[in-house]
Homo-oligomer: A and B are copies of this chain.
Amino acid sequence: MLSKKTKYGLKALTYLASKPKNEPVQIAEIAEHENISQKFLETILLSLRKTGFLGSKKGKGGGYYLIKDPSDIKMTSVIRILEGPIAMIPCVSLNFYEKCDDCPDENKCSVHKLMIQVRDSALKVYGQTTLSDLIG
């Protein structure tokens, strides 16, 4: 399941992408337009800023804005930041790999085999989709 965090984060990014570049948009405006709890959105936007997607400006006329061009923001990186691994199980994760306790041999594991295919199919979608594809 996609967390609310990821969902809200994506919506906020899309909203920001629809605005003129480098024009700060206030949290309150995004929250209201997308029906998101403002306080919750604060923490989400903060993490998107710390990971290099957003810039911010404090004080009057401040807000958040996209740093990169929407067509340069791939879903793979957004999802990994907000949601975590794209793989459904750590033993097939490219960026968050972890061995299974119970598996003596990954290469013989049926779940492993299946989940590699699922991962690759998701990766294909996320890899060819950028923020600019989500607008409009």
Given A1-B89, A111-B7 in contact, is the A102-B134 Cβ separation under 8 Å?
no
The answer to the question of A29 belonging to the interface, with a C-beta cut-off of 8 Å to chain B, is no
In contact, B110 and A129 (Cβ under 8 angstroms) = no
Report the minimal beta-carbon distance from A81 to chain B, rounded to whole angstroms. Answer: 15
89-122 of chain A: CB within 8 A of chain B: 89, 101-104, 109-111, 113-115, 117-118, 121-122
In contact, A1 and B88 (Cβ under 8 angstroms) = yes
Interface of A is mostly: helix
| Identical chains bound together, number | 2
A113 to B132, CA, bound (A): 12
From B85, B110, B125, A11 is in contact (CB under 8 Å) with B110
A125 to B102, CA, bound (A): 25
The answer to the question of A68 belonging to the interface, with a C-beta cut-off of 8 Å to chain B, is no
Q: What residues of chain B lie closer than 8 Å to A85, measured between beta carbons?
A: 1
Given A117-B129, A121-B121, A122-B121 in contact, is the A110-B134 Cβ separation under 8 Å?
yes
